Structure 1
Amino acid sequence: MSSDGDVPGNFLPPPHIAARIYKNRSYHRKSSGASSRRNSMTSHQSGRSGRSALSAHGGPQSTHVAQYLRRASIIETRKAKAADRNAHAEKVRLRAALNKAAPRVTTTDSEEKALAAQQARERYLAQVKANCAAEVRRSKKVAEEQRERRAAEHLKLKEDMEERHAQAERRRALHEQSVRRPRTATQSEQVDGKKKCGYIWRPRNELEAVIILQNVWRRSRQRRAVRDFLQLELTVANVEKATFEEVGELLSRDDVIQRTKSLLGVLHLLNDSDDSTQDAATVRMFLTTFLILGQPTYIFNKDGEQEKDLVAKAQELLTQLNRTIEPDSSASTSEAASSSSDLSEAFSDFRSAFSAWRSDDSSFMIKNMVAQFAELDAIWQTVKNDTRGEVAADYKEGIRYNQTLVMARLKKLAGPERTMKLIRDAVRRSRKAKAQKQPMVDSKPRVASEAPTAETASSLARVDSISSGQDVEAQGPEEIISAKQTLQSSSFIPDSRIVVHELAINKEWKLDVGQREARRDEIIQNTATQLKLGLEAGLDHIWIPAIAESISQKLSSVLAPGKPTQVMVQEALDPEMVRQQVQNGSFSYQRFFDFMNSILPKLCAPVRDEEVKGLAQHPSDDPVKQLARIYFVVELLVLDVLNFQLESIAPQLLQESTGYESRAFEKRLGGSFPDKTLQWWRQSVSKAEEAPRRNPENSQSGTARVTPTKVYMQGLVDLAISESALEEDEIPETLELDESRFSRLRSDILRLATISSILLNAKNLLRRDTRSLWKAEAARMWELPYSSSPAAFVSVVESRYALPPTTKQQLTTFITRILSEAREGQANHPVMKVILRKIKSHVLTRLSAASSDERIRASTTATEVLGSGGMPEFVGRIGDIVQELSRVADVDRQAHGEWYDRISAKVAEEQAVATAG
């Protein structure tokens, strides 16, 4: 470029380059987009500036420079971009080559998760390992410190011991110097002809002396007891060599029992109490170990798990005993104490196992002996009716002798009262089973053939006459009637209304003769007492005719009217004639007894032959008591006749039971209103309405609506289940016939709650599942009366599980409190209250079920509901209670439905008035 600004003309490019530079732009390349550099503002400005420069300088010279510069800039930019692309492509190529060279691993989502889990696990394990390492280091540090401390203590003790040994050595040397006579000692150095004595240890005080003497005496007594016991040579090997009879004779000797008692006493295996009976039982139990190990075939009647456990416990006990009484001479004091503790523990384990085995074995033996007694009775019942008497005579003495032996053994095992109950029940079941297989003629009263066939209306009158024991036309002096009513008040023959009511509830119902026979002595004694009081008051002219008239009416009621037998009874026992004989002094007890002994065998059933023969063959020395015995037998005869006639007239009675009970209830009210029933219904309505308020979630549902059925069932359940005894005022008039049933139900449910509370507490103390079934233990506790000691209930639990001392003490305390409340007929303990509420809720739910689906659901879930409440053992009993209450409700509402409707309407009207007011 020139200095004057002229553009020289020799700067034009060659033609071929100029052609490329200056060729048409639209032909060379297409227009770029909005983002292109050529469309940018700078490009336009440069274009304009280029064109302006070209025009200013007069030609393409300035245009060529600008284009050249711009082209060079573009080329450099493109080179830079190309270099960047090549570098990026090289990186991509290298990365692809590396990926291609590396082993190819195909992973899925699950594999990635598993890999992540594995890595997390490794991290967690590494953390746990680090924590454990830190804990190990800490434990090692603590152990090292403990070891150093013990080493220091040991060193200190060693130094103290060495110091003591040094002091003892110094004292010994001093003692030898003071005692040893010098070589130059002479006779003159002796004092009063005696040498100087050495060091003698003396106790510091009297207490230390007493302790030393007592320890010496105890060791001497223990050595003497052990020596005396070992002199008996009572070992398992010797027992195995001897016979069972020889071993039994050896173990029953007084010296053996006394030496064994002394040994157990010095080993502290006897109780500290002064109960010699309990100590004797403990000694016998200990001696039984030799029989168990030496003569097992005579002891066990089976080889079960319980027997094997008992043998193992007995072997362990004798092993610990030998280790205690014959200790190793090198054993230390601590080892001897440990041996004594092991012996006590082994003895406790054997006692628990022995008690459980003996209980089960006793139950097995009792059951077998009761069955044997019943079998003997069945044999006698089979052969006693032999007409020729040969078979009966042969069997009678043998059967009675064997029954006496069985009963004596049973009384030793089960006690007198329980033995008699078991025998009565077994004999009753055996005879009942036999009677079902045989025709009913054997138990048919002999007078039943004379009785006319009764229709429906006359059946009820027949029951009235039999149960009341009096004829409708019978009249007499007021004094005699009063005395006769006093006698009948003690009679156990129920009213006809009760007979029809019970028969409607249970079509197979019979009067319980066995219960009356069980109270035989009590009833006879009460009747004799009443007679004696009347005779001692000088009223023999009233009481003797009264009992004669009562017997005459009872016998006449079971005889066909107008028959010779009835006429003879009425003439012989005419009360007016008897009264005149008593007043004239011509009445003879013996003639009266002879007449009764002659007439009763003709009237009674064959089952009463023994009872009637006993009156004649074994009369009482007291005529008044003999009268009471005759009166009792007559009532049994009437009871048999009533039971027999119930079988034939039961269908007619059931057809008229509802109407008969309704009429009897109307007659009992006498035109008055049943106020107690009204009050009972009000209370039931209040409780039934309170239940939905306690459960608001169900208050709007259909099941929460209070209906008369729910009100009735609420009141019925309140009568049967309560925390206290039944009061007379609680019974409504409509349910007064079921008063004894409600009392029994309350008693049974209280016993059920008591036993459930004991079992629930035992399960909790032993850490057992409360839903586990302890049926055998519950059955055994059910047989125990409330008067039994708490130890009896605890022993039932111990027969299943061994109780630690603390647990046993806690359970004993709980049972003591529970039994004290049960004896009073109360249920104030919180556990008993909760159980009673659960029983009540369950029974009410099942009784109030409106549909069959609800009833089925409630019955099928009973096991789960009662099991969760701690009563799995009594599901069956509670189901029986529900069934009984259901039958009572059906019979009661059929007979008194109209009264319940009137009472319900009246209570609803009272509530409406109260709400409106």
Structure 2
Amino acid sequence: MPFNDEKQCVGEDQPSDSDSSQLSESMASLSDCECSGQSFTSDSSSKSSSPASASPPKVTTFDEVMAAARNLANMTLVHEIAVNESFELKQEVLPENSLVSRVKHIVHQAFWDVLESELNADPPEYDHAIKLLEEIREILLSLLTPSGNQLRNQICEVLDIDLIRQQAEHGAVNIQGLANYIISTMGKLCAPVRDDDIRELKVTGNIVDVLRQIFHVLDLMNLDMANFLIRSLRPHLQRELVDYERTKFQEILEETPSALDKTTEWIKESVNEELLSLSETTSTPGAENSAKPSLSPILVLNNSYLKLLQWDYQKKVLPETLMTDEGRVQELTEKLNQLKIIACLSLITNNMVGAITEGLPELANRLKRIATVLLEGMNKETFNLKEALNSIGVQTCVEINKTLMERGLATLNPEVEANLVGQFSSIKEKDNPIWSLIDKRIQLYVKSLLCHPNPQKGRPPMPGGLAVIQQELEVLGCRYVNIVNLNKQVYGPFYANILRKLLFGEEAVGKTDTSPSAN
């Protein structure tokens, strides 16, 4: 997919010579286009934005809110189609005993019962049947390709509703014959995967059951056509995605000026952390103010992206610019938490009994598989992590003792086993040194990936202690870098505006004007 563009990395220990040139050069890599001609000069960035000169607050109407919501829904759908190769529409399956399922069944059954009673009447009534045939005709026509003019004309001729209505008035409608024609036409239009479904459609004595099954298969054919169109459009959407999303988000921003508030706060946290880090390394009076322009925008933004891998989804909402990737980022975060614990367990095991288990790779792999299984679903609220860690500890001791006995060696004494289980159980306690160490090393690795010119061709070295999860971490890191790269391409101009104000603006951090009038 065309979303792995190379990006430029600005090192922490290489601040730029001037605030304006540094921001301009660094932010250029966030987007594949100019930032709408916006000035990056130090003069413009240093102008204060007083309340008197600021734009008046915009009153947002209900229609504008709904328009912004529609834009966001459309943008999210297009983004999902473009970046998710396995995305497809699926038939809705309601829980069998749910209220919605029962109501739907009752309503549908009532409709088919009415149709059956009409057709069994003497003389038969065709009002509902004609409406069904009209709907079937429209569905068949919608499944045609632009070149299917001959079949289109035939469908319109055979399923001529006016003619069928006239026939009904004289009791001359051949419902079974029309059903046979519909089934034959469906066989010409369906995807190969539906051939068996079409063959099962046979006109029997109960025409109502046949019509019901025809509608069921037509629903499946509609899904097939929609998914075919999705696959056909995906390459085009991938080429146009950056411009499309950027334009749509600008429309959202115009309708909802506060649509970048959470994004601004997210980036502001990284700015303040970097300023605090600089202030702690210098004792010069006023060093914080003088160091502010020297912050690297790329470094600040990459640190913001790192925060997403430690996000608390129960308490915090993602920045607006990451909403279209929320599911993917959350999935990666949850998987990363599991990998962290597995790395911690491996490190504790190696530290305590490494001399005994050294040179036994099969044992290490078996212990990893056990931990992975027992940690499945660890991000659910109902998951008892402490109990799972205790179980992993007990099972680890069992496997180690089993391996030692097979080799005629002495098993672990009870004190070592208790110590091992206890250290496993305490991994997630506050300020646990093993957890902190592994977390820092993983953050260092992902940060190196974000700064790497081309992670696909060459990856930075894996920090020590992470060998047990190296393969999974490399895959996860590359997936995350792909998300970040696309996000930078789409929202680069918006990030540039925010960083310009946070790094160089004289107004208070957190009161950045993100309305269109600021552009």
Q: TM-score, normalised by structure 1?
A: 0.33
CA distance in 1, matches of 2:357, 2:178: 65
Q: CA deviation at 1:908?
A: 2.9
Q: Is the 8 A contact 1:753 1:836 kept in 2?
A: yes
Distance 1:908 1:696 in 2: 19
- Residue aligning to 1:761: 348
Tell me how far 1:742 sits from its aligned partner: 0.8
1:598 deviates by 6.0
- Cα deviation, residue 628, structure 1: 11
Contact 1:597 1:612 in 2 (8 A): yes
Backbone CA RMSD of aligned residues: 5.6
**The residue matched to 1:831 in structure 2 has which SS?**
helix
Q: What one-letter code is carried by the residue in structure 2 that aligns with 1:905?
A: R
Is 1:523 the counterpart of 2:93? The answer is yes
Cα deviation, 1:365-394, whole Å, max 9, x if unaligned, reads xxxxxxxxxxxxxxxxxxxxxxxxxxxxxx
**Offset from partner CA, 1:552-593 (integer Å, 9 cap, x none):** 998766542575469959x98x9xx9xxxxxxxxxxxx9999
Corresponding residue to 2:301 among 671, 696, 712: 712
CA deviations on 1:317-360 (whole Å, 9 max, x unpaired) are: xxxxxxxxxxxxxxxxxxxxxxxxxxxxxxxxxxxxxxxxxxxx
Could you tell me which of 642, 663, 671 is aligned with 2:255? 671
Alpha-carbon distance in structure 2 between the residues aligned to 1:554 and 1:828? 62
Instruction: Tell me which of 804, 812, 830 is aligned to 2:412.
Output: 804
Please state how far the C-alpha of 1:632 moved relative to its aligned partner: 7.4
Q: How far has the Cα of 1:743 moved from its partner?
A: 0.8
Deviation at 1:738, TM superposition (A): 0.4
Give me the whole-angstrom Cα distance separating, in 2, the residues matched to 1:829 and 1:611: 59
AA paired with 1:804?
Answer: L
Name the SS for the 1:767 alignment partner: helix
Checking the alignment, whether the CA contact within 8 Å between 1:684 and 1:715 is kept in structure 2 is yes
Offset at 1:533?
2.2
Q: Distance in 2 between matches of 1:627 and 1:535?
A: 17
Per the TM alignment, residue 906 of structure 1 is displaced from its structure 2 partner at its CA by 2.5
Change (3 A) 1:914 1:732: closer
SS in 1 for 2:145: coil
Residue 501 (str. 1) matches residue 82 (str. 2) = no
Matched residue SS, 1:730? coil
Deviations 1:434-462 (A, max 9, x none): xxxxxxxxxxxxxxxxxxxxxxxxxxxxx
The count of aligned residue pairs is 376
1:289-324 deviation per Cα after TM superposition (whole angstroms, max 9, x unaligned): xxxxxxxxxxxxxxxxxxxxxxxxxxxxxxxxxxxx
The structure with the greater share of residues assigned to helix is 1
SS in 1 for 2:93: helix
Change in Cα spacing, 1:539 to 1:565, as seen in structure 2 (3 Å) is same
- Aligned residue type for 1:501: H
Q: Which residue of 2 aligns with 1:511?
A: 87
Cα shift at 1:665: 1.8
Structure 2 CA distance for aligned equivalents of residues 835 and 553 of structure 1: 60
CA contact (8 A) 1:762 1:811 kept: yes
By how many angstroms is 1:689 displaced? 3.1
Partner of 1:409: none
Amino acid at match of 2:87: L
Cα pair distance change 1:775/1:657, threshold 3 Å: same
Residue matched to 1:532: 102
Q: 1:601 to 1:627 in 2, by over 3 A?
A: closer
The Cα shift of 1:717 comes to 1.5
Unpaired stretches in structure 1, ≥5 consecutive residues? 1-493, 578-589
The residue that corresponds to 1:442 in the other structure is: none
Partners of 1:710 and 1:871 in 2: how far apart? 24
SS at match of 1:523: coil
Cα distance 1:914–1:792, how it changes in 2: closer, same or farther (>3 A)?
closer
Map 1:424-573 to 2 at 5 A.
Answer: 497-498=75-76, 500-501=78-79, 509-511=85-87, 523=93, 525=95, 530-534=100-104, 536=106, 559-560=144-145, 563=149, 564=151
Structure 2: runs of 5 or more not aligned: 1-71, 115-127, 165-175, 204-208, 378-382, 406-410, 511-519
Distance 1:533 1:659, change over 3 A: same
In 2: Cα distance, 1:566 partner to 1:683 partner: 64
Q: 1:881 to 1:558 in 2, by over 3 A?
A: farther
User: 654, 666, 671: which one pairs with 2:238?
Assistant: 654
| Structure 1 residue 761: Cα displacement | 2.3
Does 2:448 correspond to 1:845? yes
Aligned partners of 1:524, 1:593: CA distance in 2, in Å? Answer: 29
Map of 2:368 onto structure 1:
778
Distance 1:560 1:655 in 2: 24
- The code of the aligned residue for 2:301 comes to Y
Task: Give a deviation string over 1:264-298, Cα, whole Å, max 9, x none.
Answer: xxxxxxxxxxxxxxxxxxxxxxxxxxxxxxxxxxx
The match for 1:97 is none
Deviation at residue 909 of structure 1 after TM alignment:
4.8
Opposite residue 532 of structure 1, the aligned amino acid is R
Displacement of 1:782 in angstroms is: 3.2
Give yes or no for the alignment of 1:908 onto 2:503: yes
Shift of residue 685, structure 1, vs aligned partner: 1.6
Q: 1:750 and 1:858, CA in 2 relative to 1: closer, same or farther beyond 3 A?
A: same
- For 1:888 and 1:694, how far apart are their aligned partners in 2? 33
Q: CA deviation at 1:754?
A: 2.0
- Helix, strand or coil for the counterpart of 2:354? coil
Once residues 430 and 202 of structure 2 are traced to their aligned partners in structure 1, the CA distance between those partners, rounded to angstroms, is 51
Report the Cα distance in structure 1 between the residues aligned to 2:395 and 2:154, rounded to whole angstroms.
59
Q: Could you tell me how far apart the structure 1 residues matched to 2:220 and 2:261 are?
A: 41
Instruction: Return the alpha-carbon distance in structure 1 between the equivalents of residues 433 and 222 of structure 2.
Output: 47
Cα 1:804–1:556 shift into 2, 3 Å: farther
The higher-RCO structure (CA 8 Å, 6+ apart) is 2
Cα distance change of structure 1 residues 903 and 534 upon mapping to structure 2, 3 Å threshold: same
Pick one of 472, 486, 492 that aligns with 1:891. 486
For 1:871, the equivalent position in structure 2 comes to 466
Whole-angstrom CA distance in 2 between matches of 1:740 and 1:877: 19
**695 and 783 in structure 1: CA distance in 2 versus 1, 3 angstrom threshold:** farther
How much does 1:730 deviate? 2.8
Distance in structure 1 (CA, Å) of the matches to 2:480 and 2:217 = 39
Separation in structure 2 between the aligned mates of residue 817 and residue 550 of structure 1, nearest angstrom? 64
Shift of 1:881: 2.7
Matched with 1:367 is none
TM-score of the aligned structures, taking structure 2 as reference length: 0.54
**Amino acid of the structure 1 residue aligned with 2:242:** T
Matches within 5 A, 1:624-639: 633-634=220-221, 637-638=224-225
Corresponding residue number in structure 1 for 2:121: none
Instruction: Provide the rounded CA distance (Å) in 2 between the counterparts of 1:550 and 1:812.
Output: 66
CA-CA distance at 1:538 after TM superposition: 9.8
* Distance (Å, rounded) in 2 between the aligned partners of 1:815 and 1:735: 35
State the Cα distance separating 1:903 from its structure 2 match: 1.4
Match of 1:859, SS state, is coil
- In the other structure, the counterpart of 1:685 is 271
Letter in 1 for 2:472: R
Aligned to 1:743: 330
Cα distance, 1:737 vs structure 2 = 0.6
How many Å separate the matches in 1 of 2:188 and 2:457? Answer: 56
CA contact 2:274–2:300 (8 Å) conserved in 1: yes
| Counterpart residue type for residue 778 of structure 1 | K
Larger radius of gyration: 1
**How far 1:716 moved relative to its partner?**
1.3
Distance 1:599 1:837, change over 3 A: farther
Taking the aligned partners of 1:729 and 1:688, their CA distance within structure 2 comes to: 22
Contact map agreement 2:302 2:450 (CA 8 A) in 1 = yes
Cα distance in 2 for residues equivalent to 1:913 and 1:637: 54
TM-fit CA distance, 1:888: 2.0
Instruction: Write out aligned runs for 1:358-397 (5 A).
Output: none
Amino acid corresponding to residue 461 of structure 2 in structure 1: T
Structure 2: distance between partners of 1:549 and 1:608: 23
